[in-house]
């Protein structure tokens, strides 16, 4: 919070007016924890921005095949990681590798061994700006759960570097203290649903519902459209649709000036008479 205040005092002031549970991860009571698909829905939103001009049926079809592809690929990827001997998701493994490196720089002091209470001191960094803090860590070695005053362990379900230092101090494997949510099995079960293959339209059951007709104004006029752009509500002007084409000479519909029989008269009895090469 102090960093935010330094970078942007107005932003910090605005945040002060809102409860911590509204904008921090560690105070939200675990509401947003364990939601594994938010990133997927965000990225699919991004995909739709590219194709929102397509007809609905094309978007639905694209969603189906794309999602199916993602599920198949990710399940395969999880199985590959599992075969390589990983027990946690890529995300958790990366965090643990980083915090494991950090934890070797911490000093652990036992406060109450039976209650699993420890004090962890972080060493000052070379730049002198970071480190030099003290954290209270509680680890239950029976339930393999813990908490730290830095709030990271509680917030993400993966031991922070301080808790890791404690776990290693007791010669235990920090990987066993990670929430089961990050197990490769849990990740696999997110993607194990299979989609049913779509049969050809000829095999679909007969549709017996309402018939929906598009609005008349959005129907395409006869002939080649003058613009390639897909019309939207801005294209619906108050102008009535154009009537049939009329001849520019006699103003009658049904033909144009090249085929105009002309005003009825002896000198203009029609193209067939004036020009016998017409081959009519
Ligand atoms: Zn911590
Ligand atoms: Zn005419």
Predicted confidence band of residue 242 (pLDDT cuts 50, 70, 90): low
- Report which bound ligand comes closest to the CA of 248: 2
Centre of ligand 2 from the C-alpha of residue 219, in Å:
29
Supply the pLDDT for residue 232: 58
SS3 68: helix
- Report which bound ligand comes closest to the CA of 257: 2
Q: How far apart are the first and last CA of the chain?
A: 90
Query: pLDDT for 185-231, tens place per residue?
Result: 888 888 888 888 888 888 888 888 888 887 776 666 666 666 655 55
Centre of ligand 1 from the C-alpha of residue 111, in Å:
16
Continuous H helices in the chain: 2-7, 9-16, 20-23, 38-51, 56-83, 90-103, 152-156, 161-169, 184-190, 271-274
ipTM score assigned to the predicted complex: 0.52
SS3 159: coil
Q: Of 20 and 93, which is predicted with more confidence?
A: 93
What gap in Å lies between CA 153 and CA 171, rounded to an integer?
A: 19
Dig out the tokens for 194 from the structure: 């299979």
Hunting for tokens 């490769």 — which residue is that?
Answer: 184
Centre of ligand 1 from the C-alpha of residue 10, in Å:
29
Supply the pLDDT for residue 60: 86
168: which residues sit within 8 A by CB, 6+ positions away?
A: 103, 174
Domain ranges across the chain: 2-83, 90-177
SS3 118: strand
Check residue 255 and report its DSSP letter: S
Predicted confidence band of residue 275 (pLDDT cuts 50, 70, 90): very low
Q: How are strands ordered across the β-sheet holding 145-148?
A: 107-112, 117-121, 134-140, 145-148
Supply the pLDDT for residue 126: 67
Query: pLDDT for 123-175, tens place per residue?
Result: 876 666 667 789 999 999 999 999 999 988 988 899 999 999 999 999 999 99
Centre of ligand 1 from the C-alpha of residue 103, in Å:
10
Q: Decide: 95 and 103 in contact? Cβ < 8 Å.
A: no
Centre of ligand 1 from the C-alpha of residue 117, in Å:
13
């Amino acid at each position: 919070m102090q960093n935010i205040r330094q970078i942007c005092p107005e932003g910090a002031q605005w945040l002060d007016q809102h409860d911590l549970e509204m904008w921090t991860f560690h105070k939200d009571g675990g509401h947003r924890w364990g939601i594994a698909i938010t990133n997927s829905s965000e990225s699919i939103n991004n995909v739709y921005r590219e194709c929102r001009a397509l007809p609905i049926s094309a978007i639905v079809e694209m969603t189906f095949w794309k999602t199916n592809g993602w599920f198949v690929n990710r399940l395969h990827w999880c199985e590959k990681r599992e075969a390589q001997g990983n027990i946690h998701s890529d995300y958790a493994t990366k965090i643990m590798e980083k915090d494991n490196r950090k934890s070797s720089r911490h000093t652990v002091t036992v406060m109450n061994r039976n209650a699993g209470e420890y004090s962890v001191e972080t060493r000052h960094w070379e730049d002198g700006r970071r480190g030099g803090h003290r954290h209270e860590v509680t680890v239950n070695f029976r339930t393999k759960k813990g908490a730290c005053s830095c709030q990271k362990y509680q917030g993400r379900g993966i031991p922070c570097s301080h808790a890791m230092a404690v776990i290693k101090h007791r010669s235990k494997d920090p990987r066993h203290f990670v929430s089961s949510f990050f197990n490769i099995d849990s990740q696999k079960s997110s993607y194990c649903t299979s989609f049913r293959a779509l049969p050809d339209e000829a095999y679909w059951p007969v549709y017996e519902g309402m018939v929906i007709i598009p609005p008349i104004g959005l129907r395409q006029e006869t002939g080649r459209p003058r613009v390639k752009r897909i019309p939207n509500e801005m294209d619906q002007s108050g102008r009535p649709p154009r009537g049939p084409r009329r001849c520019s000479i006699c103003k009658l519909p049904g033909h144009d000036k090249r085929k105009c029989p002309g005003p009825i008269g002896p000198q203009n009895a029609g193209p067939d008479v004036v020009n016998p090469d017409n081959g009519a």
